[in-house]
Amino acid sequence: MEIPILYEDNHLLVIEKPVNIPVQKDSTGDLDLQTLLKEDLKIRYDKPGNVYLGLVHRLDRPVGGAMVFAKTSKAASRLSDVIRRQTMERKYLAVVRGAPPRHKGTLEHYLYKDQRKNMVYTVPSTHKQGKKAILEYEIIEQNGDLSLLSVRILTGRSHQIRVQLSASGCALYGDQKYGQSHSKPGQQIALWAHSLAFAHPTNKELVEFHSFPPKEYPWNLWKYINNH
């Protein structure tokens, strides 16, 4: 499997995650991204033994786009800290049914994850296991009953974008889990990790990376993507 490399140095590996591949080993036993990348590093650099590749953030299995891995434990620790302090800017592109209430705004919910069902639900703020989830969105374009959004997450909750947009009345195109009433079986979820920006773990300079979705339906409806 060809995995596009967006950037690489001694500390970082930034790649474009293909859709429908798990980020790390899971109960399915399917080949995962982390294992593939480790194998690639081992071959490319002729490394003996185990290769270190730290996972510092995740993308849902059906979601593609920009992801950063750490090539050293020091970089992993510093990137994890950047994420914990919410100073890594992560933006997504999302195609939704309908549109949010305003052209741009902030969505805030409390979310609870049922581990057994692997489902996330919005709950009242008083819920003992509810965790606050915040995202910012802006409508880039509209086309018929679909809208292209830019989404920036301020908290890293499981399935956050999918659940918050669905709860706001504009479920993601193709989301089989949180937009079943709108999505047909087999449709690919239209959520893409578009950009990452953060301070480099060693030299502290701001680095920024972009990834664009494939020009296939529904991504090919939008000038913003087609003009890239």
Active site residues: 60
Q: What is the DSSP letter of 184?
A: P
Q: Are the beta carbons of 161 and 94 closer than 8 angstroms?
A: yes
- Alpha carbon 161 to its chain centroid, in Å, reads 9
Residues 6+ apart with CB under 8 A from 14: 5, 6, 7, 8, 66, 67, 68, 69, 196, 209
Nearest to 35 by CA among 46, 20, 19, 51: 51
Backbone angles phi, psi at 169, to 5 degrees: 85, 15
Task: Characterize the bridge pairing of strands 54-55 and 64-70.
Answer: antiparallel
| Placement of tokens 């969505």 in the chain | 107
Q: Are 91 and 161 in contact (CB under 8 A)?
A: no
Contact of 92 with 65, CB cutoff 8 Å: yes
Assign 17 to helix, strand or coil: strand
State how beta strands 191-199 and 64-70 pair: parallel
Rounded CA separation 219/223 (Å): 9
